[in-house]
Amino acid sequence: MAATVYASAFASGGGTSRYGDFVVVRLANCAFITTPMDLQQVSTWARGRITSGTSQRDRTIFVERFETIIGRIGSAVATRGSRGVLSRIVKSMKANALMVGEWSIPADLDASVEIKRKAPEAPLPLVPKAA
């Protein structure tokens, strides 16, 4: 039996492959892409945690810690993260000739998102105090 969450998550087969700006993580029943920094932080966290005893629960806990993920279609991992980081990963995937169609990439990833804010109200004029 694995002693840590990290060992338990990868116990049933799996691994990682680094492609420069992104890493493909393969677990027993899912695959996703993340950033190398995100993988390093989550791996360090998972190596310091005792396993729950169930490899499925450990994989779920492991995957939930990632901030940026591009899930593989059909692997039950939702794509999440900053639009800028996701866009940079997708560009790097295309540059490395990785099949983009196999991954759950949002259709409007490069669309501009404009947040409209209220115009500030005019400040009240200062009235001098009467003596």
Of 5-9, 14-18, 65-69, give the range with the top mean pLDDT.
65-69
108 falls within a domain: no
Residue 75 located in a structural domain: yes
Residue 117 is assigned to a structural domain of this protein: no
Quick check: is 21 in a domain? Answer: yes
* Sign of CA pseudo-dihedral 4, 58, 87, 74: positive
Residue 129 lies in a domain: no
Q: What is the pLDDT of residues 61-97, one digit of tens each?
A: 999 999 999 999 988 888 998 888 999 999 999 998 8
Range of the domain at 95: 5-102
Q: Measured on CA atoms in the order 70, 97, 84, 67, is the torsion positive or negative?
A: positive
Q: Is there a domain that residue 130 lies in?
A: no
Q: Which residue has the tokens 């490069």?
A: 110
Average pLDDT over residues 45-66: 91
Average pLDDT score, the chain:
86
Q: Is residue 26 part of a domain?
A: yes
Q: Is residue 78 part of a domain?
A: yes
Total tally of structural domains belonging to the chain: 1
Total-model pTM: 0.78
pLDDT-based confidence at residue 55 (cuts at 50, 70, 90): confident
